[in-house]
Structure 1
Amino acid sequence: MSRPRVRSTTVVAVRRGGSVAIAADGQVTMGDTVVKGTATKVRRLKGDRILAGFAGGVADAFTLFEKLEEKLERYPANLTRACVELAKEWRMDRYLRRLEALLLVADRDHLFVVSGDGNVLEPDEDVASIGSGGSFALAAGRALCAHTEMGASEICREALGIAAEICIYTNDRITLLELPAEEGAEADSANTKDAP
């Protein structure tokens, strides 16, 4: 069964210098009409340790956020396992597999794109994105990571702004959440990148 292309939003997440940020635009589109410009498509989970965003149907996404929170309760110290278990249930459950959404989930150590076809994708780079403007935001985010010293939240905001200029299903009303680097994490991250 082929899933419809997810449109009407862009969500991007970036990990850098021990911090992680996630941002989404605010546009909600029904068909070819913009019905809202200030929707919130990102949220904090698990006591502010995890950031998540969605592209797709709002009711579907909230159902999936609830399921993800259940998995995080069951596997509190293992975001990878929680995302894999969510994807398995999403794919196998008769009700859940009808849900049309994508999730972007992040903590300071991981970025995951989770889909209803059983995929849990962790990108090679420290940038991930979903939605109709996702490719534009991903390209901009990767370029900014490679060629600037900007922080995670600045990169998210700039990448989403670029996507909004190109994608008609994305606006520039950005909601951004960040988990700042923990004490000493930024220095550890910088030392790791310089190591052979």
Structure 2
Amino acid sequence: MTKVKIRSTTVIGVYHNGEMAVGADGQASMGNTVAKSNVKKIRKLQDGKIVTGFAGSTADAFTLLERFEEKLNAYSNNMKRAAIELAKMWRTDRYLSKLEAMMIVADKSELLIISGTGDVLEPDNQVAAIGSGSNYALSAALALKKHAPHLSAEEMVRESLNIAADICVFTNHNLTIEKPLA
């Protein structure tokens, strides 16, 4: 039996002019078929102060979200410390190391990518993207930051996701965009 690869998503976070926004499309694909078009890949934690976005296996991502929230509680809502501790646990724990997902986490002023290889990345230019259409969305957001600085972070996220959806067959125009609360 051939295992069908579940592919999905484009998630992007942008910090611009003192504003943070994180967004994702809603598509999940199995092979070359759209399995679902309205998946919610953005979650708010800590009463909306932290916004997370995930790409990869949905069940794996929910497991990681739960563990990340536990780390946030354990480290007094220190997002960077919680991210580092999650990445360490993700890499070394036998069960967690098999999970296939990536996460973007953001608060009002900080943006991080967390991967299962133990990486916690602070992206250059304050733009982070993960998922199948990430390179398209990242390129669009970087161009918007450079050539359309009058746009808000939310507008940049929306336009970047729409550009990715126009190009990437694993990304759709059903968008969810959230901003972390202060």
Report the TM-score range of the alignment, normalised by the length of the smaller protein.
over 0.9
Cα offset for 1:140?
0.3
- How far is the alpha carbon of 1:179 from its aligned partner? 2.8
Distance (whole Å) between structure 1 residues aligned to residue 77 and residue 55 of structure 2: 26
Q: Which amino acid aligns with 1:138?
A: L
Task: Determine whether 1:49 maps to 2:58.
Answer: no
- Name the SS of the counterpart of 2:55 in structure 1: strand
Letter matched to residue 111 of structure 2: L
Percent identity over the alignment? 51
Counterparts of 1:28 and 1:140, CA distance in 2: 22
Structure (1 or 2) with the larger CA radius of gyration = 1
Shift of 1:6: 8.4
Q: Over the residues paired in the alignment, what is the CA RMSD in angstroms?
A: 1.4
Q: Deviations over 1:37-87 (max 9, x none)?
A: 111000101111111000000100000000000000011242111100000
Structure 1 portions without partners, runs of 5+: 183-196
Separation of aligned partners in 2, 1:179 and 1:144 = 21
Give me the whole-angstrom Cα distance separating, in 2, the residues matched to 1:99 and 1:46: 24
Q: CA deviation at 1:16?
A: 1.6
* 1:11 counterpart residue number: 11
1:23, CA displacement in angstroms? 0.5
Residue in structure 1 matched with residue 169 of structure 2 by the alignment: 168
Partner of 2:22: 22
Gaps (5+ residues) in structure 2? Answer: none
Superposition pairs of residues 1-196 of structure 1, within 5 angstroms: 7-148=7-148, 149-179=150-180
Would you identify which runs of 4 or more consecutive aligned residues in structure 1 move more than 2 Å?
none
Whole-Å separation in 2 of the counterparts to 1:176 and 1:83 = 21
CA distances 1:104-157 after superposition (whole Å, capped 9, x unpaired): 111122111101110011112111100010001001001111111100100000
Letter in 1 for 2:93: D
- Aligned CA distance change for structure 1 residues 141 and 6 (closer, same or farther; 3 Å): farther
Q: Distance in 2 between matches of 1:84 and 1:179?
A: 20
Q: 1:75 to 1:45 in 2, by over 3 A?
A: same
The aligned length equals 177
